[in-house]
Amino acid sequence: MGSSPSNETVVMIENLRQEVTRLKCDKLDLLRQNVTCQRDIKRLRERELSLQGDLAAAGKEILRLRDLLKEYMPDMATSPLSISPI
């Protein structure tokens, strides 16, 4: 005597299958989002390094220009209006 599953059991199994399918789709979406975020993080890190380099170059240029200003206008270097160092 083989007993067949009740209607309630069949419905539960079908609901679980649908839930598993939904979870698999959610997992794939999250994996795609993760890849996108990783790519964005890498791009932002590269941009940060580039901007740090630009900032360092700008700082050096400011120091160079201050030295030129002191050389050509020594009175301005001691003036209270002179630009304070970074």
pLDDT digits (tens, 9 = 90+) for 12-45: 999 999 999 999 999 999 999 999 999 999 999 9
Q: Is the pTM of this model over 0.95?
A: no
What are the residue ranges spanned by the domains of the chain? 8-73
CB atoms within 10 A of CB 76: 13
